[in-house]
Structure 1
Amino acid sequence: MRGLLLALQCACMLSVATAQGMPTAPVPAASAARDYLAEAKRVVDAAAQPAAPWNGPRNGPRAQPGKRVAIVAEDLRNGGIVGVVDGVLEAAKVIGWNVKIFDSGGTPDLRLKMLANALASRPDGLVIVGGDARALLPGLRPFAERGIPIVGWHVAAQAGPVPGTPVAMNVATDPFEVARVTALAAIVQSGGHAGVVIFSDSNFRIAQGKADEMAAVVRACSGCTLLDMRDVAISRSQELIPDATRALLTRYGKRWTYALAVNDIYFDYAAPVLTQAGMPSTAMAMLSAGDGSESAFLRIRTGTFQTGTVAEPLNLHGWQLVDEMNRLFAGGGVTGYVFPVHLVTADNIATDGGDRLLYDPANGYRDIYRRIWQRQ
């Protein structure tokens, strides 16, 4: 997929042979656009397939029971964070751990305080759900100094260990793949003529990275227009998004046909404004590069503006956090596993947990982790 984007950015009119450095004649613009849309559709269709069989770890240390684990959540008003926390709690019950939750409420002043409170609870391990590992570094250092292992979810721009911090594993799908699929889905749905506004939150590297990637994909589409990028703190969505939506409607009118966002929560407050403005659902399409909230599933199911969300397997990620932590407790290393990207649309929403308004891959991950931990 990255190859497609780079080719479009550098030489939208060139054939594949030219992109590979081979001499060839220029390709007409119309032909290049058709090839681009065909390849974009292939990528989007692949992302919309039902969950593939489990391709993650199948071996590892048995359960290290009796551990005390602290969870510091960025904001429990965020459905994605709640879904991950629920997964951690479900898996912790199986593996035999005691868990205590600390909620930062999306407030900068509370983030370091909640980490201090978590440290005071004398945990054996720390799980950060949301937030930014580098911004939280002053609060994380005391855990590292005490030899307390740390794992996180969406705490950095990429999955895996977070360089320069004591976070041993950032669990996430590939944020750049998430962003590309989201933007490509909008382009495919629009037939290559989307007028796009992107909502993001620059307080988080993972969010800003996704927004920048979506913007790059839109700019590479010759028939599309990137109208605006709006930086709105996720924690202030309820307060700020209604007025931002009204202002965008006034400025761009019918040119604004697609809204992309780094999180479904923006659409919770944008959709009612569109309805109040008398806009039919077919006049605006919303697609989110995470996380697959209940309200997003409802909007997709009912055809209320939102046409897609690249949903994270939130519960599965909670189980993975517990498995990564268990490996650290046992003196081993993390797996570095990254779950494949999945696009939820009206066509596939009934599968893989969609009937329960979430993306919960039907690939047997719970039983596999139980076997790894010898907790069957």
Structure 2
Amino acid sequence: MTVTTARRPRARIVAALAGVTLSLAMAACSSESVSSAAGSSAPAEAASPSSSAGGQFAAILPAGDPVAFSKDLVQKSLSASEGFTPPSTGPKSQKPGATIAFVAGDLSNGGHNSTSKAVTEAATVIGWKVSVYDGKGNAQGNSDAMNQAITAKPAAIILGGLDPTEQAPAIKQATEAGIPVIGWHAGVLTGPGNGMVTNVSTDPLKVSQLAAAYAVADSNGTAGVAIFTDGQYELAVTKARALEAYVQACTGCSVLTFEDSPIATADQRMPGLVSNLLQQNGDKLSYLLAINGNYFGGAARALEDAGKPKDGPPKSVAAGDGDAAELQRIRTSNYQAATVAEPITLQGWQLVDEVNRKLAGEDPSGFVAAPGLITKENVPSGDVFDPSSGFRDVYKQVWGK
């Protein structure tokens, strides 16, 4: 197996991979190249795919025939109705008139933006105000936004899509100032950790499993994929390596390239990057798998310029978040076939509930919502995946509203 790379990934990807078991390449599978966007060669520990089966991702790998397993998983997810109803018990609303802060990693990211709106919707119901801060997609912006939020002395801070390792000093400062920090997509694991009261997210490995399963099932076990991630986020790296692992468990599938390219500059970078991949791989490139749908607006321009059909191949599949732009591309077969969507509105309400539980001196709810595989077959008519589980009424009853 030849491993190539075009630039050194950021230091964060090395740190992230040190904490993740990358042991998932199957002997009968191929991973033809690992690369990133520009610069010098990367260290082997950051770039090399894994070399033995099992490890952290063993639970999500297909059992038995990968194609049959994947097709069954896809069909079950497309018709799923469970996993979207939150706990029906909890504290009544606390601190009427309080202000909470939502610090978004990048408000140009549809998932971050939609979550901030969902938090505001829920906060209005419980009787709070929300101040939104934008990290603008870079580490300095994230730090500035966190500092502004802490200075404002809110009742709580919601960390929206920021890396808690990067923001560890700010999280500590907020906590010491009596400001609890609750995460959304902040780190790999759900629940308490990294100095946060809790982290609200779907299970990122299940998200990657569904996205990769779609490619394996849709291709009947012949997918040739490019994987796109952002090495500055541990969560993004973990999801991407899980995508890689699942595809590698399919003997007729191959990972052609593993790309580290920033989400924040995806619109600028992806047209050139995808154009180069098409030239390098030709018809072998049949699926683009990314940890976030933000990559596919730029990818669409390159695919259109190359004369590729809008419904593929290559087909674009996102392992999160399911924002309005993604749903519209899927709805119109416009260079995106599927996404694994977060129930973002439900998570926004859950975030407010987790803040309320903390303010009442109670433990986190422990609720982890299910993700939803979205294709043209079941794409919602609205801007977000908003499951009809009655979660709003559940939370209103809990809060006494």
Residue of structure 2 equivalent to 1:38: 68
In structure 2, the CA distance between the partners of 1:33 and 1:114, relative to structure 1 (3 Å rule), is: closer
Residue of structure 2 equivalent to 1:356: 382
Give the secondary structure class of the aligned counterpart of 1:52. Answer: coil
Distance in 2, Cα, partners of 1:246 & 1:54: 39
* RMSD between aligned residues: 2.0
Q: How far 1:82 moved relative to its partner?
A: 0.7
Give the secondary structure class of the aligned counterpart of 2:334. Answer: coil
Residue of structure 1 equivalent to 2:277: 248
Distance in 2, Cα, partners of 1:174 & 1:58: 21
Residue of structure 1 equivalent to 2:373: 343
Distance in 1, Cα, partners of 2:152 & 2:192: 25
Match of 2:239 among 177, 200, 210: 210
Give the secondary structure class of the aligned counterpart of 2:394. Answer: helix
The one-letter amino acid paired with 1:355 is S
In structure 2, the CA distance between the partners of 1:278 and 1:135, relative to structure 1 (3 Å rule), is: same
Distance in 2, Cα, partners of 1:205 & 1:122: 28
The one-letter amino acid paired with 1:149 is P
Identity across aligned pairs (percent)?
37
Deviation per CA, 1:31-72: give whole Å up to 9, x if none: x99833212111111111143374421000000122221111
Give the secondary structure class of the aligned counterpart of 2:374. Answer: coil
Deviation per CA, 1:148-179: give whole Å up to 9, x if none: 111011110111112xx321111100000000
Contact 2:263/2:295, CA 8 A, preserved across alignment: yes
Structure 1: tracts of 5 or more residues without a match: 1-5, 13-31
Of Structure 1 and Structure 2, which has the larger fraction of its residues in helix?
1
Distance in 2, Cα, partners of 1:332 & 1:250: 56
Residue of structure 2 equivalent to 1:94: 125
Paired positions, count:
346
Distance in 2, Cα, partners of 1:7 & 1:215: 8
The one-letter amino acid paired with 2:275 is R
The one-letter amino acid paired with 1:369 is Y
Contact 1:155/1:170, CA 8 A, preserved across alignment: yes
Q: How far 1:138 moved relative to its partner?
A: 1.1
Q: How far 1:364 moved relative to its partner?
A: 0.4
Contact 1:161/1:336, CA 8 A, preserved across alignment: no
Give the secondary structure class of the aligned counterpart of 2:372. Answer: coil
Residue of structure 1 equivalent to 2:9: none
Q: Which runs of 4+ in 1 moved over 6 A?
A: none
Give the secondary structure class of the aligned counterpart of 2:222. Answer: coil
In structure 2, the CA distance between the partners of 1:108 and 1:147, relative to structure 1 (3 Å rule), is: same
In structure 2, the CA distance between the partners of 1:8 and 1:261, relative to structure 1 (3 Å rule), is: closer
Residue of structure 1 equivalent to 2:351: 321
The one-letter amino acid paired with 1:109 is Q
Q: How does 1:286-305 map to 2 (within 5 A)?
A: 286-305=316-335
Distance in 1, Cα, partners of 2:80 & 2:383: 15
Of 108-117 and 225-234, more deviation after overlay is shown by 108-117
Contact 2:191/2:199, CA 8 A, preserved across alignment: yes
Match of 1:267 among 296, 309, 321: 296
Matching of residue 368 in structure 1 with residue 399 in structure 2? no
Distance in 1, Cα, partners of 2:138 & 2:149: 16
Q: How does 1:130-141 map to 2 (within 5 A)?
A: 130-141=161-172
Distance in 2, Cα, partners of 1:109 & 1:47: 39
Higher Rg: 1
Distance in 2, Cα, partners of 1:290 & 1:33: 24
Distance in 2, Cα, partners of 1:40 & 1:259: 17
Deviation per CA, 1:256-310: give whole Å up to 9, x if none: 0000000001001101110111111332111100000112111111112211100
Q: How far 1:10 moved relative to its partner?
A: 8.2
Matching of residue 233 in structure 1 with residue 262 in structure 2? yes
Match of 1:79 among 83, 91, 110: 110
Q: How far 1:346 moved relative to its partner?
A: 0.9
In structure 2, the CA distance between the partners of 1:62 and 1:169, relative to structure 1 (3 Å rule), is: same
Matching of residue 310 in structure 1 with residue 340 in structure 2? yes
Deviation per CA, 1:221-258: give whole Å up to 9, x if none: 00001100110110111221111111111111111000
Q: How far 1:107 moved relative to its partner?
A: 2.0
Deviation per CA, 1:169-224: give whole Å up to 9, x if none: 11100000000110011000000000100000111111110000000011110000
Distance in 2, Cα, partners of 1:330 & 1:305: 47
Contact 1:8/1:221, CA 8 A, preserved across alignment: no
Contact 1:261/1:289, CA 8 A, preserved across alignment: yes
In structure 2, the CA distance between the partners of 1:58 and 1:8, relative to structure 1 (3 Å rule), is: farther
Give the secondary structure class of the aligned counterpart of 1:344. Answer: strand
Distance in 2, Cα, partners of 1:317 & 1:367: 14
Distance in 1, Cα, partners of 2:372 & 2:83: 13
